[in-house]
Structure 1
Amino acid sequence: MEVLQRKIIHIDMDAFYASVEQHDFPELKGKPIAVGGSEVRGVVSAASYEARKFGVRSAMSGVQAARLCPTLIFVKPRFDRYKEVSKQIREIFLDYTDLVEPLSLDEAYLDVTENKKGNPSASLLAQEIRNRIFEKTGLTASAGISVNKFIAKIASDYHKPNGQKTVSPDEVETFVEQLDVKKFYGIGKVTAEKMYQLGIYTGKDLKSKTLDYLEQHFGNSGQSYYNLSRGISYSQVKPNRTIKSIGAERTFNENLSSEIYMESRLENIAHELDRRIKKYKIAAKTITLKIKYSDFTQQTRSKTLAYFIADQSLIFDTAKELLYQEKLKNSVRLLGISLSNLNTNQKKQVVVQLKFEF
């Protein structure tokens, strides 16, 4: 097999939410800040590099973050502002290629094999794009450049913040062999631990295994791991991504222990979900209730109907039914409702699904 010779750039903004706050409010520059959460409640959405030095990370509880960094400044998220800046960045991308695949507000893949600037150097294009982002927004971005999305994404993390790394075609094999397997796309913590137990620590170790061996131990994922260990990825940059699910959730200021109180919260969430349904003009058969308890354990309860629904009251009634399906294990800090099994196979597409943690 040969590596597909594409020219792919992965752009990843540096500590995006936190950097926007530090740019808009100069008094926050150089200080450890956390977007979202608080010293008594909530979850951190993003942390500045100053905060990361103390071990503060996204998805960490505000209580733990404050414990790690006593001088941490908590900032309320401004998602409208982040979306505004993200749109400015997206417009820059489109000056270079129409093959832009956003992964979130702060990162995207660009296929510049054939580009609007007629520049054969993906590395120079990445540098130019990063310069333009800084000139337009005052924010820095990092980039990874290589022959496919898999390598480019890993490379973008090498010289953060405000740097870039190119992995040329003749460097791919060595680059992959030296990687820890936990850096491979699709290999999570559990799978990485299983590989470690099998004596597979690096890409080179993974490459030494036969396809039969990998399929025997990892099932259908074996083929993917076999290819990735050789730097092979056939995933294309897709400007349009079919929406597979849509959801809304809320973290509460105080833990809730009564289902009666939770009902009104679910109704508000269903209302927010109704707004998104109308925006995308979709309907769903499967409704899932997400419950996160005060001890941070999580539970989901789902119901699949025989017909598509797009009615707020039906969504709320189904979510309420799921709430009472079984007794709650503890007090609740977060509730969410998501819809899947959508009618999107009728040629309905959106650029990217946005989901925010509050």
Structure 2
Amino acid sequence: MRKIIHVDMDAFYASVEQRDNPELRGKPVAVGGAAARGVVAAASYEAREFGVRSAMASVTAARKCPSLIFVKPRFEVYRAISQQIREIFAQYTPVIEPLSLDEAYLDVTENLKDMPVATEIALEIRARIKAVTGLSASAGISYNKFLAKMASDLNKPNGQAVITPKNGAAFVEQLAVNKFHGVGPATAEKMRRLGIETGADLKAKPLMFLIDHFGKSGQYFYGIARGIDARQVRPDRMRKSVGAEDTFTVDISDLDLATSELRPLAEKVWSYCNAKGFSGKTVTVKVKYSDFTQATRSRTNPLPYAGVDDILGAANVLLAGVYPFKRPVRLLGVTLSSLINDKDADDVEQPQLGLGL
């Protein structure tokens, strides 16, 4: 039986801004752009009381909370604090799987301090984070990743909760499936149409029924409905994709103008990949129109893309494939996925070239 902790910082970006600017404390704060095309990256708990959420359009957030204070993000500061937090984690276990700048899984089944109780480890970690950064964190403790993630939301902010092996299955049964981590709105709606609204409903469905309707995710759903999740905490976890996108001040209808906007996105993606020592085989272009509908197109190579020009070339072709645009374009995005470490790239089988004889 493993001991897993999920640590999640409380309103991380917004809390950093309130920490560094006393005038923002106790006030509704949104990290993001206040412009008409802006998007909320994070919201303080004071802002959340008005219904402001991350990924919400700034104009909508301002309408919900007229007193909302917008602050420009400082990602270099957030990254530095995230590194401080990970150094604290490393004092307790080397088995750390970061999910983002503000959350991570820790496997403390065997830990560097020989502490037998995971709850006490979580308490210590949260206290150390507060002492070092001045910020609060919440934690979930359980015997697998899914339940640890769910537990970390139970007593937010600045709290923690435990889901034991004894009550894991019962906890899942009473939970609405749209609250499950990993079940998005589209999947939740599909489950609802199939008569699945709670964990108990999900548990009642046979394995083959779930596989037939949800593919490879069906087996995962079958397990978590019973409080079972065999996924390991992976300290070498590689992110699945790297992307960049831009929302334009004025909608774009011209293909040449839209194409020119792809280069800075491709450069940003490649700069990150190059710095981290990996590439990818799949380029995806996202096009969001003025009515917020969107289209995506992808191209996969047998070999990893070798540089920004290769990525840009594929992106240009993909964008041309959706032209003429059905509506003016408000956002473009470029993503590189099917990632591979550079050190593994030499092991990729080279395609055989025909001699044309």
Q: How much has 1:339 moved relative to structure 2? A: 1.8
Aligned counterpart, 2:336:
339
- Distance 1:191-1:272 versus aligned 2 partners, 3 A rule: closer
Aligned counterpart, 2:106:
110
Q: Structure 2: any 5+ residue segments left out of the alignment? A: 346-357
Written as runs of structure 1 = structure 2, the 5 A alignment for 1:192-231 is: 192-231=188-227
* Structure-1 separation of matches of 2:339 and 2:158: 39
- Distance 1:222-1:265 versus aligned 2 partners, 3 A rule: closer
Kindly report the root-mean-square deviation, in angstroms, between the aligned alpha carbons of the 2 structures: 1.9
- Distance 1:214-1:286 versus aligned 2 partners, 3 A rule: closer
Aligned counterpart, 2:43:
47
Q: How much has 1:319 moved relative to structure 2? A: 1.8
Q: Whose relative contact order is higher, 1 or 2, with alpha carbons under 8 Å and at least 6 apart?
A: 1
* Structure-2 separation of matches of 1:274 and 1:200: 42
Aligned counterpart, 1:354:
none
* Structure-2 separation of matches of 1:198 and 1:316: 42
- For residue 287 of structure 1, the aligned residue among 283, 287, 306 is 283
TM-score by length of 2: 0.90
- What's the secondary structure of 1:330's corresponding residue? coil
Return 198-207 or 338-347, whichever deviates more.
338-347
* Structure-1 separation of matches of 2:194 and 2:280: 42
Give the fraction of aligned pairs with identical amino acids, expressed as a percent.
57
TM-score by length of 1: 0.90
CA contact 2:11–2:43 (8 Å) conserved in 1: yes
Q: How much has 1:260 moved relative to structure 2? A: 2.8
CA contact 1:34–1:48 (8 Å) conserved in 2: yes
- Distance 1:89-1:72 versus aligned 2 partners, 3 A rule: same
Which letter maps to 2:251? N
* Structure-2 separation of matches of 1:211 and 1:112: 31
Count of residue pairs the alignment pairs up? 344
Which letter maps to 2:180? F
Return 196-205 or 212-221, whichever deviates more.
212-221
- What's the secondary structure of 1:275's corresponding residue? helix
Aligned counterpart, 1:123:
119
Aligned counterpart, 1:83:
79
Which letter maps to 1:228? I
Q: How much has 1:93 moved relative to structure 2? A: 0.4
* Structure-2 separation of matches of 1:89 and 1:205: 39
What CA deviation, in whole Å up to 9, does each residue of 1:296-332 have, x standing for no partner? 2221122234543322223223322222222112222
Is 1:259–2:235 an aligned residue pair? Answer: no
What CA deviation, in whole Å up to 9, does each residue of 1:231-260 have, x standing for no partner? 000001000113443222222233333233
* Structure-2 separation of matches of 1:342 and 1:112: 29
Aligned counterpart, 2:300:
304
* Structure-1 separation of matches of 2:310 and 2:220: 40
Q: How much has 1:117 moved relative to structure 2? A: 1.1
Written as runs of structure 1 = structure 2, the 5 A alignment for 1:11-30 is: 11-30=7-26
Q: How much has 1:49 moved relative to structure 2? A: 0.6
- Distance 1:262-1:148 versus aligned 2 partners, 3 A rule: same
Q: How much has 1:34 moved relative to structure 2? A: 0.8
CA contact 1:39–1:65 (8 Å) conserved in 2: no
* Structure-2 separation of matches of 1:205 and 1:317: 48
- Distance 1:178-1:253 versus aligned 2 partners, 3 A rule: same
Which letter maps to 1:34? A
CA contact 1:244–1:344 (8 Å) conserved in 2: no
* Structure-2 separation of matches of 1:135 and 1:98: 21
* Structure-2 separation of matches of 1:50 and 1:341: 39
* Structure-1 separation of matches of 2:79 and 2:32: 16
Which letter maps to 1:339? L
Is 1:7–2:12 an aligned residue pair? Answer: no
Aligned counterpart, 1:138:
134
CA contact 1:214–1:223 (8 Å) conserved in 2: yes
Written as runs of structure 1 = structure 2, the 5 A alignment for 1:305-320 is: 305=301, 307-320=303-316
- Distance 1:244-1:219 versus aligned 2 partners, 3 A rule: closer
Which letter maps to 2:108? V
Q: How much has 1:346 moved relative to structure 2? A: 5.0
CA contact 1:282–1:310 (8 Å) conserved in 2: no
* Structure-2 separation of matches of 1:62 and 1:7: 40
- For residue 62 of structure 2, the aligned residue among 39, 52, 66 is 66
Q: How much has 1:51 moved relative to structure 2? A: 0.7
What CA deviation, in whole Å up to 9, does each residue of 1:89-124 have, x standing for no partner? 000000000011000000000011111111111111
* Structure-2 separation of matches of 1:131 and 1:285: 42
